[in-house]
A and B are shown apart, each in its own frame.
Chain A
């Protein structure tokens, strides 16, 4: 299929950059303190219930190729469990934020910050927490893994849904009120369909991004306990322990098949189906296509599958819930109510701040904070340099491909496939190389951070170059723009909005990847680069919760600052100046 249409057609702004102001408001800081406080409290709680971890008894993972299909299936199932949880979370939390102004003031900054928090750092205490919930049962570990994947998906899905709810066209809103749709009917007939394209695109991108986390969350070492959940990630961890390169190759192949199936059987059919929810009044020329969707649509199968679903939703939609609020809400919200709410939030934040201070003072020294920031700075330099390098390589290549439709059509699906492929499956191969040539891990482990994320730059640039208007190209040729001038005044401004989207996603992904990329092992050989990712990984392995939280908090601060100071202004600038539609 001409996949560039997929990327160009539904291109929601990442991280809600289009919507919110640059100025940090009081809630941003307050909410950050609240989140950090909650993390420390969680770490403290997890510390208390470490005991049951050791007693877990599970069927051991083996490197038997016959078992690999089953492992692949279980990995996929974990992914789906997480996506269902994320959808539920999105519907509840984003709706609450859009409908309730007090909730909105806290939820929106919280989502904004949470999507910058390095997900992998969570694993440690969520494992402890869920194992405590289901002592001695495999379910606890499963829940922890699913929760880790959930945290990689939920925030930007909720953000996208919230933004859609806030931008519902006023005439459709009036129609719904005029015909007295119940809130429930309004949700299913107006709000969900209107939000569907953005939400589905975000969900699919989140799923692509979270294969990485599934793999990482299946083998978790906390202190002296290693939990291995049957799946491709656990298989891989075992293969690394045993230095079995053949098993690593098998894992790569299994992962490739899973991603390919996911792309063809799920991603593309759903994007093609969701095209009908696009809010536009004229039919578009180029629609996303999918052979599976066509097949299903033409066959009778779809009716068997969808008839009960449609029947159920039709019945669900006319359920009449008792009306809780009067129909015409007076819009003048009470000032005193707002002040009380603000006071409550500020007091909680003050308490959280005191709690953090107290915790840091008793468990950590302020030297630790300095050390974490120092290491964070090293990782920051790595991310910046690598994104710059990846851009220098992939922008020219992406432009070259994007301007040639025949090439774009072939390369684009490959680039999207590579972006979804969990790069950590490939790490062992790189590590074998580093060990074999005894290279400096401080330098040579770094490229692993962008191994999986650089493709976001490539496929966004291809999409941008494909969308570059033909008349502008012809004008450039006609006026004989020389090559540097052509780059500077024609194509670079033309692809900039796409590039920024790609680079932003890539940089966020690289921060996350640093936690697994800065430390790598092969059998008993351990490679370690100095950086915040390695610091968090090390603290996790030692079961040193205070330092894990510290590392996560510092990384979140760096990512949020990076986003606010660099990506957000850049994104706004490109949206204002360089949009070609």
Chain B
């Protein structure tokens, strides 16, 4: 295979616009205890390049973008733009948000003008510049519309116009297409690439955060692949395919497959562990419903996959985001119903058996695997066994979890455990009282 992958040459300090050096970020948990989000990141963004930060959700790439924009101060390390250190919202960059982040009570024109208004530019001057940006991004005729009247794609165009109108040097994009449907996202990507290639935007470089591998390969000159927990740069991949790129080009496919393989590779030092943040009973669990797990196992077991599927192909045929699919796949791996390797997923013996059994047997098998491989479920069951009443309040476990993780993660981990335990009929949970017990209403 002729894969266009090679390590990018280290950039000289002189031609880098944005430099990140030795940057680490620690999230302080409310209950005490620290979580290392970003670990020793080095990055240089040169003139005239599009760089993607590619990684799973929760790998700290959005945090990195916010640190570069000066919205969040880093715990250690430095960020410089044009040689000036960043301490506070930087004026050389403009950001496009995943959620669009438009003011619903302002019209398109007023939304685009907001950055100029903050600079104290006269109404006449900002009107002229805003109209030019609106024209450039293809929003003519929408000037007096309110965001809620527009489709997602048009709203994100407002987001782009708002960013471009302040004439930034660097455009920062935080998953700008991930809230859009497939067709709209593709149109917007193409339009943006056209503007970029025709040099019609007065910007020097683009830094984009994404979890979509194809999107990164389609758009960037360079891809930085991030690992999760903590976020580190795993690989710096230069993409040398000519623009415009064709998704069906074999070299394109080969590059996508090789990045998939990198992202699903088991870390050498800790097999199994590190799949989800935290270890033992304080592992942060994703809320994946047993029905989704069963559905994916059935799909993989059936033709044409027969127990072994290529993840990118599976994602395409199921019309799922690669990130969502990986979440389910990794939960299957945690429960030993499947193995992930090199961008492929393969059902284990237990996974194959699960698919063949009827409802009752499935539940029993599921329960055995959950008890064996999810320490928190085993822990809760043990506590219930030991108590004479066989009841325990959920707050007891929530407090334990909150010592190790954020409130939100503790909440979703408990939700996941409750849903799996209910499906496997391991123990019951009374939502009203917030109590775990063995009693199910008869």
Measured CB to CB, the residues of A under 8 A from B are 169, 171-172, 174-175, 177-182, 185, 189-190, 193, 196, 276-283, 314, 317-318, 320, 326-328, 330, 577
Contact = CB atoms under 8 A, between A and B. Distances in A.
A281 B94 CA distance: 23
Interface of B: 66, 69-71, 73, 87-89, 91, 94-95, 97, 99, 101, 103-106, 114-115, 117-120, 123, 146-149, 155, 166, 432
A196 B104 CA distance: 12
Interface of B is mostly: loop
A182 B87 CA distance: 17
Given A327-B88, A577-B432, 20 more contacts: A174-B97, A178-B89, A179-B89, A179-B118, A180-B119, A185-B117, A189-B103, A189-B117, A193-B103, A193-B105, A196-B105, A276-B105, A277-B104, A280-B104, A281-B155, A283-B148, A320-B120, A327-B89, A328-B70, A328-B73
B95 A277 contact: no
Given A283-B148, A314-B123, A181 B88 contact: no
A200 B104 CA distance: 17
A180 B118 contact: yes
User: Max chain A CB contacts within 10 Å: which of B87, B97, B103, B147?
Assistant: B103
A178 B95 contact: yes
Contacts of B104: 277-281
Contact of B88 (A179, A196, A276, A326): A326
B149 to A, nearest CB: 6
Given A171-B97, A171-B101, A178-B89, A189 B106 contact: yes
A179 B71 contact: no
B174 to A, nearest CB: 9
Given A281-B148, A328-B70, A328-B87, A175 B118 contact: no
Contacts of A277: 104-105
A171 B146 contact: no
Contacts of B117: 181, 185, 189, 317-318
B147 A281 contact: yes
A182 B101 contact: no
A101 B94 CA distance: 31
Contact of B101 (A172, A193, A327): A172
Contact of B71 (A178, A189, A276): A178
Contact of B149 (A283, A328, A330): A283
A168 B91 CA distance: 23
19 contacts: A171-B99, A174-B66, A174-B95, A175-B97, A175-B103, A178-B95, A179-B89, A179-B94, A179-B114, A180-B89, A180-B119, A181-B117, A182-B118, A190-B103, A277-B105, A279-B104, A280-B148, A327-B88, A328-B73
Contacts of A280: 104, 148
B134 to A, nearest CB: 17
A318 B95 CA distance: 22
A184 to B, nearest CB: 10
Contacts of A181: 114, 117-118
Contacts of B119: 180
A174 B102 CA distance: 11
Contacts of B89: 177-180, 327
Contacts of B71: 174, 177-178
